[in-house]
Structure 1
């Protein structure tokens, strides 16, 4: 059953173009939330793209990022932000998520805006969250596939970063990205979600902040299905991570949109988080 929202909140959401995901047919560019404690979602258009490193990208890890593959993506919705502590805690409080990470030191500091992304999350923890979210809303939530993640993170661009081919300054939150945490003055913690500019699809923090779990088993690009679904196998022990992190060493390499890495299903690190996907064909 869907959570009912107070009338004043509905009016506020409508004023900003937000609407309930069940009230009308969703279309690309729409922003919605299925319940009060649910992540805010953006509808991503269908399309085809070339997944993997650009030919001129000298920092590409060839065994992981090449050769490029052509992927057809159906329309879907993805979280505009990484899942926050508050959103994840709702799953813990309701009994849907078994593991509750202790408060990170940065969460104890005063802040002026926003929620921090939940971190210290393993792939299996994220699976419990999306299962709970699906049951809570009646819609099919999951982690995005690796192809869906890169397609959404690129925002329709074909450059090394979504803003161009140079890392620049203050485009993302990572060690070599310039700037620093507004409270600490360095890169010892993530920023509250949405602190920097969004990509062309309206997604925040796809580069930097925290690494994000995706659905796929980690393998070569050629193993990824051409229809954009996840590469899965029954004996998988290493799953893919995408995006870079606030404390990433050599961030100019890790922050590239084609950068890929893997982690064990039960691995929990202070830079591991996630964002969610929701199917539209329901």
Structure 2
């Protein structure tokens, strides 16, 4: 009888184990089905969002649907990230992107609903359409990569140069924190003060359009209170390629570009990228066609591998180091024709190769009787530096700064700290290889109403804190 009871207990335990196993399997299956259902819902939300990023005749008619769709997409993404943390490996990165789009859509809905709203110089039809195309591309890539793990690899420390540079270093010292090919070279810049913005007289002389003049005014006194180190040049193609190779980072695909013909438009061309911006470059040319987010990723990589703090300059810092003690329109003086020695501009060579124009406005003015031999970007450092020893502070590539767009100098921070606008729209400073004379001035400032903006004239340089 004892043997029978033991056998019965054993059978009971076996049945119990089988039941528990079956229940666990069923629960796991249900959980998996729920994750799959949530993924399906998220893909559907992303499809709706991507479809909403299509021009509907005006920003006011377009963005309410975008606003609704991006909020639903974020809700679905946050839910699956909370309940199934491994289902979308790059959920954190995607959330940050979509949160920026949500902020932008909210801005557009609010601003276009204001009484008397009318498009200005930054929210032209062409600009808004290009911004929509940038985000259409990004949302499509997010949907494509939902199940893919990040390609970014852990950062390894670089071979230190042991320079020991800190805030006691002498002004003008050139150094690098790493010993390698393509190393970033930084210049120590002393503290100081300057007057930000342009005078009315300067704007009159250079024919700044009335609709843009408030971008550069009113003038403000700004002080950079401690020394900083600034990139001697813009970050190059070779340096950015090294970053991508070592980290597995995937830069933005596609960019806006002016087409070289008699009726140019700033079009988004999805086939272009930083390795092919639509014209030939060397590894020593400034990298272009990248986003502000790409630039900040490069800065984070430099910080992680060196143990120092690298970042984009603030707008106040940028104008200070660009002026290098000058209050003239250009850091070299008042005459734009001297640009041939100091800046890669839209001169006779660039004009002959591109002949940019806008329908109804005629061809762009160029710097006449100046030839530098470069129809597009030039290798960094090809021209004379400013008084701080910094090359290409105007011309070659425009440069991203840390601030987000505010359309005037009113309220510019007196200590050159970062300013935050109503939405994460980008600010660019400095002229570029294809910029007309008035836009080579140090006071020139402009923004683009999309945080994903990239063009074949945008690049960046870095600041290193001391």
Q: What TM-score comes out, normalization by structure 2 length?
A: 0.52
CA contact (8 A) 1:92 1:98 kept: yes
Which residue of the partner structure matches residue 225 of structure 1?
A: 413
CA contact (8 A) 1:31 1:43 kept: yes
Partner residue of 1:127 out of 289, 296, 306 = 296
The reply on whether 1:268 has 2:459 as its aligned counterpart is no
Structure 1 CA distance, aligned partners of 2:164 and 2:183? 11
Query: C-alpha displacement at 1:208, in angstroms?
Result: 0.7
The reply on whether 1:174 has 2:345 as its aligned counterpart is yes
The reply on whether 1:106 has 2:262 as its aligned counterpart is no
SS of alignment partner, residue 222 of structure 1? coil
Which residue of the partner structure matches residue 15 of structure 1?
A: none
Structure with the larger RCO, 1 or 2 (CA within 8 Å, 6+ apart): 1
Which stretch of the first structure deviates more once superposed, 78-87 or 169-178?
Answer: 169-178
CA contact (8 A) 2:196 2:222 kept: yes
Structure 2 CA distance, aligned partners of 1:194 and 1:211? 15
SS of alignment partner, residue 242 of structure 2? helix
Structure 2 CA distance, aligned partners of 1:30 and 1:270? 31
Structure 1 CA distance, aligned partners of 2:440 and 2:393? 9
The reply on whether 1:89 has 2:241 as its aligned counterpart is yes
Which stretch of the first structure deviates more once superposed, 130-139 or 36-45?
Answer: 36-45
Structure 1 CA distance, aligned partners of 2:446 and 2:439? 9
Which stretch of the first structure deviates more once superposed, 134-143 or 51-60?
Answer: 51-60
Query: C-alpha displacement at 1:70, in angstroms?
Result: 0.8
Partner residue of 2:185 out of 33, 37, 40 = 40
CA contact (8 A) 1:96 1:128 kept: no
Higher helix content, 1 or 2: 2
Which residue of the partner structure matches residue 443 of structure 2?
A: 258
Aligned residues: 255
The reply on whether 1:137 has 2:306 as its aligned counterpart is yes
Structure 2 CA distance, aligned partners of 1:75 and 1:194? 23
In structure 2, list runs of 5 or more residues that go unmatched: 1-156, 252-272, 347-365
Structure 2 CA distance, aligned partners of 1:236 and 1:21? 39
Alpha-carbon RMSD: 2.1
Structure 2 CA distance, aligned partners of 1:179 and 1:253? 15
Q: What CA deviation, in whole Å up to 9, does each residue of 1:189-215 have, x standing for no partner?
A: 111001111100001111111111011
CA contact (8 A) 1:241 1:261 kept: yes
Structure 1 CA distance, aligned partners of 2:445 and 2:247? 32
SS of alignment partner, residue 396 of structure 2? coil
SS of alignment partner, residue 144 of structure 1? coil
Q: What TM-score comes out, normalization by structure 1 length?
A: 0.84
Query: C-alpha displacement at 1:174, in angstroms?
Result: 1.2
Structure 2 CA distance, aligned partners of 1:156 and 1:141? 24
Matches within 5 A, 1:1-282: 1-4=157-160, 20-22=163-165, 25-35=168-178, 36=180, 37-57=182-202, 58=204, 59=206, 60=208, 61-73=212-224, 74-95=226-247, 97-99=249-251, 101-104=274-277, 105-107=279-281, 115-169=284-338, 170=340, 171-175=342-346, 176-177=366-367, 178-180=369-371, 182=373, 187=375, 189-219=376-406, 220-232=408-420, 236-248=423-435, 251-263=436-448, 264-280=450-466
Structure 2 CA distance, aligned partners of 1:21 and 1:180? 42
Structure 2 CA distance, aligned partners of 1:97 and 1:32? 26
Which stretch of the first structure deviates more once superposed, 38-47 or 270-279?
Answer: 38-47
Q: What CA deviation, in whole Å up to 9, does each residue of 1:84-122 have, x standing for no partner?
A: 0111112111216321722343226xxxxx811101011
Structure 2 CA distance, aligned partners of 1:232 and 1:141? 20
In structure 1, list runs of 5 or more residues that go unmatched: 6-18, 109-113
CA contact (8 A) 1:96 1:129 kept: no
Query: C-alpha displacement at 1:245, in angstroms?
Result: 0.8
- Cα 1:192–1:179 change in 2 (3 A) is farther
